[in-house]
Amino acid sequence: MRKIYSLLAIVLLLSALTSCGSDEPNDEQTSYTLMYNRAVDTQTGSDITFSQSTCCFKVRNNGSMTMQAGMILKIDENTAVEFTTDYMPLTPSADENYTYTFSANSVAAGSHTISNLRGKINMVGPTFIQYVVDGRYQCYSTLQPYYTHTSTANTRNGADGAVSYTTDNVKYGLVFNETEKKGTLYLFNLQLSDNDNAYAILTYDNLTMEVTTSGYRLTGADVLPTWYQNNYDTHGTNVEQLRASTVTIDVTQQGQALSGTIKTGTDESPIDITLNGTFFETNL
C-alpha cells in the first residue's frame, strides 16, 4: 500500500497537465499546466487577486537542462498579464531528487515588467514560482498543490483513554474552483493505525476557500468524504466514521506549506486528525 500514493499523485497531476511532445525534438518537452495564481498589491498589503490559468513550460535537455515558462495571470480583476521567459538554467537541488531551481532577473511583458522571478520544480510533483509585476504586485503561481513531505497524526479518544498514531505515508492534494471559491482536499493513503487498511484516495469536497496574504484557507462543516476504492481498499461504508464535523486547512508559505485539522469519528470515539506538509524538502 505504501506505493499507491505515487501512482495516484501522477493521476492528480495529469488532470492538470497535457503534454504535446509528438512534433518536438527528443531533447525538448512541452507541457500545458493548470496553475493557481495570487497577486498581492504591496501598496495596500491587503488587495489579493486569485486566478487560475493554463501555462506552458518547455524543458530542454542538451547536456544541461533549461526551462522556458509561459505565464498568464490577473493582477487585479480587470488586468491580465502574460509573459514568456527566456530559457532558464535548471539547477539540481542538493537535498531532493528530480527537483530544480530556476530564476530570471527581468522579463518583458508588453506594457508590464516582470522582475525577481524565482522558482522550484519537482519533475514528478509540485511547481512553485514567485515574481513581481511592475514593481508593485508580488505574485505566486503553483501547479495544483501536492504535498509530499508530510506528517499526519490522529488521536482517538475512547473509554480506555487517548490513542495516538503518526505516519509520514499520507500525501495531500488540493484543487480549487475559481468561480465558486471552493476547494477539495485529497488525502492519499490515509491510515489511522498500523492495523488499519489505508484509504487509497479520500476526498473532502465543497470546502469554502478564502485567499489570504500568505496562501489559502479552506473550511467546512459536517463533510462526508468520498473515497476511491481499489482491491486493497475494503472500507466500504466505514467511510462514515470519517465524516468531519469540521475541516480547517491553512496553506501558508505562499502555497508551499499546509497545516490543518479534521475533527471526525463518533461521539463515543472522536478522532482528531492533524495534517502538516510541504512541497519540497526545503521550500523556496
What's the confidence (pLDDT) of residue 7? 41
CATH number at residue 115: 2.40.160.90
What's the confidence (pLDDT) of residue 121? 94
What's the confidence (pLDDT) of residue 13? 45
Cell of 82: 502574460
- 3 within a domain of the structure (yes/no): no
Q: What is the CB neighbour count within 10 angstroms for residue 176?
A: 21
Q: Could you tell me if 132 and 159 lie in one domain?
A: no
Last residue of a domain, one of 143, 178, 202: 143
pLDDT band with cut points at 50, 70 and 90 for residue 3:
very low
- 284 within a domain of the structure (yes/no): no
CA distance 10 to 104: 29
Q: Could you tell me if 246 and 127 lie in one domain?
A: no
Q: Could you tell me if 203 and 123 lie in one domain?
A: no
Q: Could you tell me if 192 and 115 lie in one domain?
A: no
Which has the higher per-residue pLDDT, 90 or 8? 90
119-157: per-residue pLDDT in tens? 999 988 899 999 999 999 999 999 889 999 999 999 988
CATH number at residue 163: 2.40.128
pLDDT surpasses 60 at 26: no
256-275: per-residue pLDDT in tens? 999 999 999 888 889 999 99
157-175: per-residue pLDDT in tens? 876 678 899 999 999 999 9
Q: Could you tell me if 58 and 85 lie in one domain?
A: yes
pTM of the model: 0.87
Q: Could you tell me if 122 and 161 lie in one domain?
A: no
Tell me which of 2-11, 64-73, 226-235 is least confident.
2-11
- 182 within a domain of the structure (yes/no): yes
What is the domain extent for residue 85?
17-143
Last residue of a domain, one of 103, 118, 143: 143
What's the confidence (pLDDT) of residue 237? 52
Angle at 214 between CA 264 and CA 129, to 5 degrees: 110
Last residue of a domain, one of 143, 169, 192: 143
Q: Could you tell me if 250 and 149 lie in one domain?
A: yes
- 12 within a domain of the structure (yes/no): no
Q: Could you tell me if 111 and 185 lie in one domain?
A: no
Structural domain count, the chain:
2
What's the confidence (pLDDT) of residue 159? 64
